[in-house]
Structure formats: structure tokens, C-alpha cells
Amino acid sequence: MWAFTSIINMISTNLLLIFLVATFVGVAAGYLGSFMVLKRMSLVGDALTHVALPGIAIALMLHRSPMLGAFIMLTVAVIGVWYLEKTSTVYAETLVGIFFTASLALGILITPEPDLLEALFGNIEKINLTEAIVAIAVSLILIFITKLISKKLILGIISDELAKSLKIPLDSINFVYLFLVGTIVAVGVKFVGTLLMGALVIVPAAAAKNISKSIKQYHLYSIVFGILSAGVGVAFSTTYHFPTGPIIVLASVLIFIVTYFFK
């Protein structure tokens, strides 16, 4: 009887941990994604997730945390995207697409085969306590920093000239923002996977844009839809033992479809 109670408590604790991580990552992804949709960088945001795979592969080969490997590679990628966005006016998106497609191909080649499926589609059930605490703490920090730069980001989206006339350092703000996006992707690949994390950043924000009447509503709905996508996806996948990442993405797409008809 004692052993059975211990198992039930352990399962309940693990599920609570999974839902907490999913909630906080969903909030951060939805909030950051709301700016990415407004900046019309959805394709860049999706491509950015692909570069995490080589980092995960190298980390696995060195017996290090996949989250750390993804973070290092994504930091390098963010610097590259920022530089291209700053210096190239014609071919930036094309070059980004080529570079990140190559990264995905390289990652698939060097990722150990037993770990490839999990790296591509995620598995939150394998997250440990340390990774969960890190994911929640990082998500909170990202939300806080995004809030601090949000007005400057919005002003830069509305008018570059106006922002520059007010002496807002747009280049620095854009770099910080891209770094925040790269960080939430690195945190989220553990349970959504490198192929699908981009959808958790983009789709809830796109759904929110369908029904929002103000910027405040837009950010709020983006956060709510991010939580719903992650929460519903985790609940369904843990109940019916489906891969977590695809279910989370399908949940977010379903929300988008529903909101589209109320556009």
C-alpha cells in the first residue's frame, strides 16, 4: 500500500512539474511571438529553431545537456541573423533560409540515431527537476526583459524614423529581442523539439492577431493561447502517450483555425 501511494505521489509530482514548465514556456513563447508576428519575422523565427539541432547533437556526443548545446548554437545563429538583418536589405531572408536549412541537414546527420526522434519532436516526460527549474526561471527572466523593451520594440515596428529621432538604439533592441527568442527556443526544444518549437512561438500570436482589437489584447491573447497550446498538448500527450511536440503544435493550429472564423 505504501509503495502504491509513493508511485501515485511521484506521478502526480512529475505531472505537476511538466504542466508548470509547459505553462511558463508557453507564456514566454506567446509573448515573444507576438512581437515576431508584428515584425513579420515568422519565417525567420521558424528557421531559427532548426539551428538548435546541431547544438543538441554536439552536446549529446560530449555528454552535456542538450539545452546548453541548443543555447550556444542559437546564440551564434542570433548574431548571424542580426548581422544580416542590419547589413543586407535584399537577400537577408534567403541567406537565413539557406543557412538554417543546412544546419538542420547537418544536425540530422550528426545526431545519434536513438536520440534523433526526441531531438526533432521533443519529450517533456524526460525533463528532470534541474532542467524544469532552469526552464521556469529562464522563462520568467525572458518575460521580464521583453516587458522592459516592449515599448521600444513597438515603436520600432511602427516607424524606424520616429524611433531613431527619439534616439532609441534600434540595432541593440533588435539584437536583444532576437537573443530572447533564441533563448526561449533553446528552453523549449526539450519538450516541443527543434522542428516544431517555432510553431509555439508563432501560431499562438497569429491566432491572437485574428481577434485582438488593441495591442494590450493582442499580447494578452498571445500569452493565453501559448498557455492553452502547451497545456492542452501536454495533457493530451501524457494521457494518450503521443509525442508531446506534435500535439502542442496541433493544439495551437486548432486555436488559430477557431479564431480565424471570429476574425
pLDDT beneath 50, residues of the chain: 1-11
CATH number of 17-124+133-260: 1.10.3470.10
In order, the DSSP letters of 24-67 are HHHHHHHHHHHHHHHTT-HHHHHHHHHTHHHHHHHHHHTT--HH
* C-alpha grid cell, residue 30: 506567446
Query: What pLDDT was estimated at residue 73?
Result: 83
The C-alpha angle 189, 192, 197, rounded to 5 degrees, equals 70
Query: What pLDDT was estimated at residue 11?
Result: 43
SS3 per-residue string spanning the chain: CHHHHHHHHHHHHHHHHHHHHHHHHHHHHHHHHHHHHHCCCHHHHHHHHHCHHHHHHHHHHCCCCHHHHHHHHHHHHHHHHHHHHHHCCCCHHHHHHHHHHHHHHHHHHHCCHHHHHHHHHCCHHHCCHHHHHHHHHHHHHHHHHHHHHHHHHHHHHHCHHHHHHCCCCHHHHHHHHHHHHHHHHHHHCCCCCCCCHHHHHHHHHHHHHHHCCCHHHHHHHHHHHHHHHHHHHHHHHHHHCCCHHHHHHHHHHHHHHHHHCCC
Structural contact between residues 170 and 163, judged by C-beta atoms closer than 8 angstroms: yes
Alpha carbon 18 to its chain centroid, in Å, reads: 16
Query: What pLDDT was estimated at residue 2?
Result: 41
Query: What pLDDT was estimated at residue 43?
Result: 66
Query: What pLDDT was estimated at residue 109?
Result: 77
Cell numbers 554536439 correspond to 58
Query: What pLDDT was estimated at residue 18?
Result: 79
Structural contact between residues 246 and 121, judged by C-beta atoms closer than 8 angstroms: yes
Structural contact between residues 26 and 229, judged by C-beta atoms closer than 8 angstroms: yes
pTM to 2 decimal places: 0.81
Q: What is the DSSP letter of 111?
A: S
Query: What pLDDT was estimated at residue 128?
Result: 75
